[in-house]
Structure 1
């Protein structure tokens, strides 16, 4: 049962602050091909665009420049490094769940490393995605209808137990936050410092919360007053008490349902993050706006993060700056929805 596993493997705040570099070095020693793939991950551009009302600037951390086309290249790399280092071996059989971007990144990474991977996707995942995963050599299973993303998580637990695989469990992976703290956050600090910019806020849409938590920890070290904003879909808010549903929402985001909270965020004091909800239609409209006005393509979650960051700088004095993490350029389906809405 996924609830039992989430409780058993939930990280503490101390777990989230542990160093990633020693773990990475050990993984490289055990699996040298990981080190060879490292240059394709990270060092992504930071692109300034006006805020929604034009009173400030939002710096977009554009993660589409990663090897797999999304921020999940970082996550996949971190998860595999942690699995290899903790197992003390490069001979692994892995299982994980994903609705899209992480599945793509993991399948491509595991194919290059020769690792055996079984992925579980939610019911209704595009056939295009399943074909892509299978072409990369991953085994795939689709969760039962009506079970939402939580159903895919639950099925992945069963697959791991049944097939004696190591479940990566992204939602409890402290390594995700550690990697974003040492890599993504450090990159942003260097990039903003080069422009003499001090951000008042950092916004990121939340799937697991790893990118927000890690990046926020890094930025707090440089700018203690930088406010971290957790962006959730209005259709599935943080700690949503309702059962998981199939309503369209920002890709890769959302509350888990049944009152469950993302363990990475729950490890922090209750008032650590500001919380903002963005509906899917609002995100799609923001995608269109950024494409039309600023010639930049962003995912629905990235558009939601831009809206949240904009709200922060637009309500204060003119000329302030914020950062928004943009997971990818958006999927084919998201752009179809944006065009049709």
Structure 2
């Protein structure tokens, strides 16, 4: 089956002053949006300070990172795509890195481990945060989008997290908006993953550095890096690191066709690659819009395409990937297959995929 990957027309920019009906999150995103220089700040000193204040954080570090890089053929077989398989992180996804970075940033900036936290998530980050905060004894209130499975909500509560569900019909943006109100009403620190420069910094110093070391051992020079975008932290940080080693490696942000970058439409609950997507009302991910125009290429993958690619990778190569990982593989494949044979690209694979994604894949 031939899979077409369409290029989105949205361009980087700044978030509107206030999306209608979502004034709270619009205000906070604008107030806390990082500057480009913030993404270059070192993560290691912040991490060391967090470990000093909360030594138990250091124990969590051992289950995060050093994930494998698995080569598979590109879609047309003209080159290779190296899959950065993040499922081997302690919580089963790339969001282990994000959760750890967020907690290090919160503890270090507050100067104390005595924190009451809140955050929004539709899945993997919620799982990682709930596990880590349960281990650390931190008070966590999570806000999930309307329609999130009871299975996930029950799992989060079992870890000791409070769980609130966003308003019906407001999509992921609704959970973000509600998290702002929870933080202000309950005097909690809002982690705000979409503005977390420390997340990009950790990916620069660790995820990107890992890929450089792994590919250099094989003598491989990649022509592209592809990653599905939720916040953009993993793509931004990894791209910064890889640009230092391979200046001509093109970073590509992968969005679902159902919710493109900077989507002007109101948010909805349409099925799409899990953990990815535009937020609606023209809001753009601050971690991406901190970069100059043209730094990233933007590509979209429709959910049925991602599901088909998930099935293909499992059937042909024995590897289970998330929808966003499948979309990244398709995108990286397009980069190598359109050029001379024998080229290489990297795709970040966030996880092995959710139960719901595999149920949908089985039904196509």
TM norm structure 1:
1.00
Is 2:293 the counterpart of 1:270? yes
Match of 1:40 in 2: 63
Match of 2:76 in 1: 53
Of 150, 161, 164, 1:127 maps to 150
Deviations 1:130-154 (A, max 9, x none): 0000000000000010010000000
Take 1:12 and 1:174, find their aligned partners in 2: how far apart are those partners?
A: 9
Deviations 1:26-73 (A, max 9, x none): 000000000111110000000000000000000000000000000000
Q: Look up the SS of the partner of 2:261 in the other structure.
A: coil
How far the C-alpha of 1:107 sits from its partner, in A, is: 0.1
Take 1:36 and 1:312, find their aligned partners in 2: how far apart are those partners?
A: 39
Match of 2:185 in 1: 162
Q: Look up the SS of the partner of 1:49 in the other structure.
A: strand
Of 23, 28, 34, 1:11 maps to 34
Take 1:211 and 1:38, find their aligned partners in 2: how far apart are those partners?
A: 17
Take 2:293 and 2:234, find their aligned partners in 1: how far apart are those partners?
A: 18
Take 1:251 and 1:61, find their aligned partners in 2: how far apart are those partners?
A: 17
Q: Look up the SS of the partner of 2:265 in the other structure.
A: coil
Match of 1:258 in 2: 281
Q: Look up the SS of the partner of 1:40 in the other structure.
A: coil
Match of 1:153 in 2: 176
Of 184, 189, 192, 2:207 maps to 184
Take 1:142 and 1:310, find their aligned partners in 2: how far apart are those partners?
A: 37
How far the C-alpha of 1:277 sits from its partner, in A, is: 0.3
Take 1:135 and 1:36, find their aligned partners in 2: how far apart are those partners?
A: 21
Deviations 1:214-263 (A, max 9, x none): 00000000000000000000000000000001110000000010000000
How far the C-alpha of 1:278 sits from its partner, in A, is: 0.1
Match of 1:208 in 2: 231
Q: Look up the SS of the partner of 1:199 in the other structure.
A: coil
How many residues end up aligned between the 2 structures? Answer: 341
Of 325, 332, 338, 1:315 maps to 338
Q: How does 1:203-242 map to 2 (within 5 A)?
A: 203-242=226-265
Q: How does 1:62-81 map to 2 (within 5 A)?
A: 62-81=85-104
Is 2:109 the counterpart of 1:89? no
Listed as ranges, the gaps of 5+ residues in structure 2 are 1-23
Take 1:185 and 1:40, find their aligned partners in 2: how far apart are those partners?
A: 17
Match of 2:303 in 1: 280
Take 1:315 and 1:202, find their aligned partners in 2: how far apart are those partners?
A: 15
Is 2:285 the counterpart of 1:295? no
RMSD: 0.3
How far the C-alpha of 1:270 sits from its partner, in A, is: 1.1
Listed as ranges, the gaps of 5+ residues in structure 1 are none
Of 161, 167, 173, 1:144 maps to 167
Of 11, 20, 27, 2:43 maps to 20
Of 331, 336, 340, 2:359 maps to 336
Where relative contact order (Cα < 8 A, 6+ residues apart) is larger, the structure is 2
| Stretches of 4+ aligned residues off by more than 2 angstroms | none
Q: Look up the SS of the partner of 2:160 in the other structure.
A: coil
How far the C-alpha of 1:6 sits from its partner, in A, is: 0.3
